[in-house]
């Protein structure tokens, strides 16, 4: 964290037992949103749906029906593009962005020597974890929202479409389609928040942000590989990546809620484990 932010959580005046939480949260949010690489990551995510939409418009076009899987339904059906972009980004780009922010939150502070000041500030270590988690969550929400909004605008402008043609063959109005997209955003944000919690726990164990990013991405790759091995079918319920493809169920009519609910429950477990490990590490960490 910069010197400005560190100053805002420096020891409070006499008579004040803890730093104002609202001011600390505001300082954390400003720090997250001012980092050039975070802004660059948001720009990269905003450009992904544009590239997909332009590629489909140039190579497929309305009514083409060509292309694999969900992407084939984007042609002439632009409201599918936000969900398709989320599905593609959540396998690599979104976790990478989340891991980067979580790595900067604690390991980055430690590497720059500013974590010591935060640990001795009148904030409380559990509240400090809460503030850092809020910063990661802010970036999670912004990342998924930017991806969805860019996909929505790109789909309507470049691809077109009067309504959302679901994977079940029915057509939804614009309002209902926006509700489906919002559901996809919230579901994906929950998955990425779980990744952020685990990455935050790794961040509390090291002073090297690159180790956090590499460890998080390596774990996701291993999970993905393990999930494809037939003999390890019993392990799939334990892997956070198991139901990530379920986000496309929001495009069915009616919505398939089983895998979506299971994915949320699994993400919630990882979220609790990650935050608990972070709190345990921070309350026992030397200043």
**CA–CA separation, 184 and 18 (whole Å):** 39
**CA–CA separation, 109 and 279 (whole Å):** 16
**CA–CA separation, 192 and 186 (whole Å):** 10
Number of domains in the chain: 1
In a domain, 237, yes or no: yes
Q: Kindly indicate the confidence band of residue 186, based on its pLDDT and cuts at 50, 70 and 90.
A: very high
Express each pLDDT in 39-73 by its tens digit.
Answer: 999 999 999 999 988 887 777 554 444 444 566 66
In a domain, 264, yes or no: yes
Mean pLDDT of the 77-106 span: 91
According to DSSP, the residues that pair with 171 across neighbouring strands are: 165
In a domain, 3, yes or no: no
Mean pLDDT of the 257-284 span: 93
Domain that holds residue 260: 21-284
In a domain, 12, yes or no: no
Q: Is residue 75 within 8 Å of residue 61, measured between CB atoms?
A: yes
Express each pLDDT in 23-47 by its tens digit.
Answer: 888 888 998 999 999 999 999 999 9
In a domain, 1, yes or no: no
**CA–CA separation, 140 and 196 (whole Å):** 8
220-227's contacts with Cβ under 8 Å and 24+ in sequence apart are 220/95, 220/195, 224/91
Percent of the chain with pLDDT over 70: 82
- Output the CA torsion 190→192→193→196 (10° steps): 170
Q: Is 11 left (phi over 0), alpha (psi -120 to 50) or beta?
A: beta
Phi/psi at 242 (5° precision): -60, -45
Please report the DSSP string for 236-277 in residue order. Answer: GGG-TTTTGGGGGGGGSSS--HHHHHHHHHHHHHHHHHHHHH
């Amino acid at each position: 964290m910069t010197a400005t932010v560190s100053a805002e959580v420096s020891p409070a005046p006499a008579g004040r037992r803890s730093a104002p939480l609202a001011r600390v949260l505001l300082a954390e949010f400003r720090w997250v949103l001012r980092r050039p690489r975070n802004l660059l990551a948001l720009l990269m995510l905003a450009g992904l749906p544009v590239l997909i939409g332009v590629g489909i418009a140039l190579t497929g076009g309305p009514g083409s029906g060509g292309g694999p899987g969900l992407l084939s339904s984007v042609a002439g059906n632009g409201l599918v593009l936000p969900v398709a972009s989320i599905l593609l980004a959540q396998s690599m780009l979104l976790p990478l962005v989340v891991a980067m922010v979580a790595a900067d939150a604690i390991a980055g502070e430690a590497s720059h020597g500013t974590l010591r000041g935060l640990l001795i500030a009148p904030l409380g270590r559990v509240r400090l974890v809460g503030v850092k988690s809020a910063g990661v969550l802010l970036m999670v929400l912004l990342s998924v929202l930017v991806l969805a909004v860019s996909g929505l605008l790109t789909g309507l402008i470049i691809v077109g479409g009067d309504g959302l043609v679901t994977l079940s063959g029915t057509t939804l109005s614009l309002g209902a389609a926006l509700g489906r997209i919002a559901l996809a955003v919230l579901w994906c944000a929950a998955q990425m928040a779980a990744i952020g919690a685990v990455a935050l726990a790794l961040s509390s164990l090291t002073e090297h942000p690159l180790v956090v990013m590499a460890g998080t991405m390596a774990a996701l790759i291993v999970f993905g590989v393990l999930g494809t091995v037939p003999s390890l079918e019993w392990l799939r319920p334990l892997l956070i990546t198991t139901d990530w493809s379920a986000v496309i169920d929001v495009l069915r009519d009616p919505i398939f809620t089983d895998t979506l609910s299971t994915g949320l429950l699994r993400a919630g477990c990882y979220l609790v484990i990650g935050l608990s490990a972070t709190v345990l590490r921070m309350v026992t960490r030397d200043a």
